[in-house]
Amino acid sequence: MKHIRTPLLAIIAVFVLAGCDTTREATMVNQPEIEIVQDGAADGARRITLRNGRGMEVELMELGATVTRVVVPDRDGRPTDVVLGFDTIPEYPEKSQYFGCTVGRVGNRIGNGFFELDGTGYELARNNGENHLHGGVVGFDKRRWSAEAMVTGKGPGVRFTMTSPDGDEGYPGRLDAEVVYILTEAGELVVEMGAVCDAPTPVNIVHHTYWNLGGHGSGSVLDETLQINASHYTPVDAGFIPTGEIAAVEGTALDFRQPRTIGRDIGAFPENGDDPGGYDHNLCLDGDPGVMREVARLSDPDTGIVMIIETDQPGIQFYTGNFLNGMVGKGGVVYDKFGGLCLETQAYPDSINRRGEPGWPDVVMRPGENYEHRMVHRFTTE
Ligand code: BGC
């Protein structure tokens, strides 16, 4: 097992992990550091741990450029792991419903797995009924990314890179994608997603952590309090594909402009056939896309842990883990329906089939352009 543990103060430049087999032991406690472990169980995939000087820890892995653990102190200083996950890497492709991963090339759904671009029709993999979900059968979440440790002025980080070839899951053109995670000394987990392409293609890379600020095994999130700065949402049909309408949240159970518990009005979305019920909606964030702004605030009554999300994206998928079905996760805990929630900043679902319609984002990227998607998760307690 390769094991690298690096106090950040000892590093002056980007520390490239590929091929590195040195073992270094940390000499200082409470110093920001990056630790790399070669996981023997999983075909060479590596796990990376970032630590800051405030007792926070973020663990990631190369498979899916995935967040597997985020430990934050609760209001009494107790370390609390607030993300759902599994103990071993092979469990992710077996049991995961996109836990902690990076989703792409296009996150969320594309209706009928089809779109037209510059006069050509493209058939994508259909892996969700008739629709395309989260990049297809072997999306970015199931790829091995390549990790490289980073020293940044803000704190320890890691850059994951991966190439999606021309024709991947039906998408046109090659896409070189990267995701940078930084754990800052200010108590933030920064996620920066980027890509370049060699032919026009839709891109919407999405981060898919399931949060439970009471601790990943603490049960339902329905008693957590959420605020989302969104005045509108995109209604969907029975297959979760947007109808095209951009509707006001006013007077609906989707109005989170003032903080409220998640459970308060969740009954407005009951179980119905294949739909397990609960929140699974894209909200249209207020403010200008392309500009970083605070968009959501989540807090847990028992731990007092608060997470504030900032992003430059136009939308956010608020999903209450409706399809969680009792899978056994880290430390043997069971994840049931509503046992975690996702706040996925994104372009609106099926935007590629709504191009040119008023209010809809353009997700097409062309050669020479840079795709950029930034989110900050800021942790504090109350
Ligand atoms: C989607 C859900 C989907 C889930 C899969 C979410 O992003 O909104 O509809 O079931 O991902 O884990």
Does pLDDT of 20 surpass 70?
no
Q: Tens digit of pLDDT for each residue in 183-238?
A: 999 999 999 999 999 999 999 999 999 999 999 999 999 999 999 999 999 999 98
What separation in angstroms does the CA of 281 have from each of 1, 17, 198, 266, 320?
A: 43, 39, 32, 12, 10
Q: Tens digit of pLDDT for each residue in 265-277?
A: 999 999 998 889 9
Smallest CA separation from ligand 1 atom 9, residue: 280
From 24-33, 87-96, 102-111, 373-382, the region with the lowest mean pLDDT: 24-33
pLDDT at 18: 35
List the one residue out of 85, 86, 193, 210 whose CA is nearest residue 140: 193
Report the alpha-carbon angle 237-323-248, nearest 5: 40
The more confidently predicted of residues 229 and 32 is: 229
Report the alpha-carbon angle 233-235-236, nearest 5: 140
Does the predicted model carry a pTM greater than 0.85? Answer: yes
Report residue 105 as tokens.
């090339």
Q: What is the mean pLDDT of the chain?
A: 91
Per the annotation, the verdict on 369 as an active-site residue is no
Does pLDDT of 143 surpass 70?
yes
Smallest CA separation from ligand 1 atom 5, residue: 97
To test the ligand 1 pocket, which listed residue (66, 98, 345) has its Cβ within 8 A of the most ligand atoms? 98
Distance CA(114)–CA(126), nearest Å, equals 9
Task: Calculate how far, in angstroms, residue 319's C-alpha sits from the geometric centre of ligand 1.
Answer: 7
User: In terms of DSSP bridges, do strands 46-51 and 33-38 run parallel, antiparallel, or are they unpaired?
Assistant: antiparallel
Distance CA(215)–CA(211), nearest Å, equals 8
Topology, domain 11-381: Beta-galactosidase; Chain A, domain 5 (2.70.98)
* Beta carbons of 261 and 225 less than 8 angstroms apart: yes
